[in-house]
Amino acid sequence: MRQRSLIAITAALAAGALTLTACGSRDDDGGGSDSGNGGGTTVVIGVDAPLTGDLSALGLGIKNSVDLAAKIANKEKTVDGITFKVESLDDQGQPSVGQQNATKFVANDDVLGVVGPLNSSVGESMQKVFDSAKLVEVSPANTNPALSQGVDWQTKKVRPYKSYFRTATTDAIQGPFAAEYVYNDSKKRKAFIIDDKKTYGAGLAATFTEAFKKLGGQVVGTEHINPDTKDFNAVATKVKNSGADVVYYGGEYPQAGPLSKQIKAAGAKIPLVGGDGIYSADFIKLAGAGGTGDLATSVGAPVEELPSAKEFVANYKAEGYKEAYEAYGGYSYDSAWAIIEAVKKVVDDNDGKLPDDARSKVVDAMQNVSFDGVTGKVSFDEFGDATNKQLTVYAVENGDWGSVKSGTYNG
CATH number of the CATH domain containing 94? 3.40.50.2300
Question: Exposed, middle or buried: residue 181 (CB in 10 Å: 0-12, 13-18, 19+)?
Answer: buried
Question: Exposed, middle or buried: residue 228 (CB in 10 Å: 0-12, 13-18, 19+)?
Answer: exposed
Give a yes or no: residue 114 inside a domain.
yes
Give a yes or no: residue 385 inside a domain.
no
Helix (H) or strand (E) segment spanning residue 124: helix 120-132
Domain shared by 307 and 221, yes or no: no
Rounded mean pLDDT of 70-95?
97
pLDDT over threshold 80, residue 249? yes
Domain shared by 18 and 165, yes or no: yes
pLDDT of residue 410: 67
Alpha carbons 168 and 180: distance in angstroms, whole number = 20
What percentage of the chain has pLDDT greater than the value 70? Answer: 90
Instruction: For 177-218, give the DSSP string.
Output: HHHHIIIIIS---EEEEEE-SSHHHHHHHHHHHHHHHHHT-E
Domain shared by 113 and 88, yes or no: yes
pLDDT of residue 301: 87
Radius of gyration of the chain (CA): 21
pLDDT over threshold 90, residue 40? no
Domain shared by 161 and 180, yes or no: no
Helix (H) or strand (E) segment spanning residue 406: strand 400-407
Q: Which of 127, 121, 130 is nearest to 92 (CA)?
A: 121
Provide the number of structural domains found in the chain: 2
Domain shared by 22 and 154, yes or no: yes
Domain shared by 128 and 72, yes or no: yes
Domain shared by 114 and 256, yes or no: no
Alpha carbons 112 and 178: distance in angstroms, whole number = 36
Task: Enumerate long-range contacts of 156-163, CB under 8 Å, 24 or more apart.
Answer: 157/383, 159/382, 159/383, 159/384, 160/127, 161/127, 161/128, 161/130, 161/131, 161/384, 162/131, 162/363, 162/384, 163/127, 163/130, 163/131, 163/134, 163/135, 163/136, 163/137, 163/363
Domain shared by 263 and 327, yes or no: no
pLDDT over threshold 60, residue 11? no
Q: Give residue 280's domain range.
A: 171-299+391-407
Calculate the dihedral angle through the C-alpha atoms of 201, 207, 210, 216, rounding to the nearest 10 degrees: -100
Length of the chain: 411
pLDDT of residue 276: 94
Domain shared by 73 and 142, yes or no: yes
Give a yes or no: residue 384 inside a domain.
no
Domain shared by 292 and 308, yes or no: no
pLDDT over threshold 70, residue 31? no
pLDDT of residue 351: 95
pTM reported for the whole predicted model? 0.84
pLDDT tens, position by position, 362-410? 999 999 999 999 999 999 999 999 999 999 999 999 999 999 999 987 6
Average pLDDT over all residues of the chain: 90
Which residues, at least 6 apart from 229, have a Cβ–Cβ distance to it below 8 Å?
A: none
Domain shared by 328 and 356, yes or no: yes
- 4 — pLDDT class (breaks 50, 70, 90): very low
pLDDT of residue 7: 32
Alpha carbons 80 and 330: distance in angstroms, whole number = 25
- 35 — pLDDT class (breaks 50, 70, 90): very low
CB atoms within 10 A of CB 51: 18
pLDDT over threshold 60, residue 293? yes
Give a yes or no: residue 318 inside a domain.
yes
Q: Is the dihedral of CA 88, 44, 340, 321 positive or negative?
A: negative
- Amino acid at residue number 244: A
pLDDT tens, position by position, 94-152? 999 999 999 999 999 999 999 999 999 999 999 999 999 999 999 999 999 999 999 99
Domain shared by 355 and 279, yes or no: no
